Amino acid sequence: MESKVLKAMEICTEAAVDLEEADEEAQVQELDTCMQTFVDLQKRLEIEKQTLQTLRGRVMAENGTNDETDWATFYQETNQSAWHQWSEALSDREKYGNDSLYTDFRKRVWEINNDGPMPPLFDDGADGSDDDLVMDSGPVSLVCPLTRQLFDTPVKSQRCGHSFSKQAAIAYIRNGHGHVNCPVPGCNHQIEIVDLVRNRYLERKVESHRADTTGDGNDE
């Protein structure tokens, strides 16, 4: 289920980029809402897993005792409490502002028609610094972290959002027997070949860079 949600978020992002290029603002906003729904779904799945683990631990701990705990009620109340803390107690920026796939979605849509820094994702009136909500829309690196060369057929990991040249990534993963730690410093995610998806955004960036480089050469 989790992999399907990640795939759906990737599809939404690619579709939003295309729609933003076509100035279909209303449809882009609809996809933004969908992305938030997917983040909620990911959290609900996480809560379900955590609740089941808690339930299992309690059942095993009380096995053989005379305690007549209503486990169905325990599960329901624990699950509902955790979900309430997420859905009602947190602000939008707390729920979505730190999700890498959602922030990547917003950044890529912004960069279609804007060159300057991206404004804060949310303005919910919360106290404290907004530094973590301002997306850095500075120059995008076109260098693969594996080959240290210009991206060649760029692909992106759905788990962490980092991109690589396709063949270099496949070789790197196969050398690690099918799953490896992301090579980007500071990233704790593991990547597998099945996680890699086409990065059309970087494809366009690389094509534009090559066109500019060729044009500069012709001008000389």
Q: Write down all domains in the chain, each with its CATH number in brackets.
A: 1-138 (no CATH), 139-220 (3.30.40.10)
Stretch 117-126: mean pLDDT, rounded? 71
Stretch 120-143: mean pLDDT, rounded? 59
Q: How confident is the model at residue 203 (pLDDT cuts 50, 70, 90)?
A: confident
Residue 123's pLDDT is 73
Which one-letter amino acid corresponds to residue 60?
M
* pLDDT single digits (tens) 174-183: 999 888 999 9
Is the pLDDT assigned to residue 136 strictly greater than 50? no
CB 179 within 8 A of CB 192: yes
16-25 — which CB contacts under 8 Å span 24+ positions? 16/105, 16/108, 16/109, 17/108, 17/109, 17/112, 17/200, 17/201, 20/109, 20/112, 20/113, 21/112
How far apart are the C-alpha atoms of 102 and 161, rounded to whole Å? 10
More confident residue, 123 or 23: 23
Average pLDDT, the chain: 84
Most confident range (mean pLDDT) of 41-55, 106-120, 190-204 is: 41-55
Global pTM exceeds 0.85: no
CA torsion, points 82, 85, 91, 95, in degrees to nearest 10? -10
CB 165 within 8 A of CB 151: yes
Is the pLDDT assigned to residue 133 strictly greater than 80? no
How far apart are the C-alpha atoms of 108 and 20, rounded to whole Å? 10
* pLDDT single digits (tens) 69-99: 788 888 899 889 988 888 888 889 888 988 8
Residue 128's pLDDT is 42
Q: How confident is the model at residue 170 (pLDDT cuts 50, 70, 90)?
A: very high
Residue 33's pLDDT is 95
Residue 145's pLDDT is 94
Count of H-run helices and E-run strands, the chain: 7, 5
Residue 218's pLDDT is 59
Quote the distance between the C-alpha of residue 138 and its chain's center: 19
Residue 116's pLDDT is 63
- With residue 7 as reference, give the H or E element that holds it: helix 2-21
Is the pLDDT assigned to residue 125 strictly greater than 70? no
- Sheet with 196-198: list strands edge to edge: 163-165, 154-157, 196-198
Residue 135's pLDDT is 44
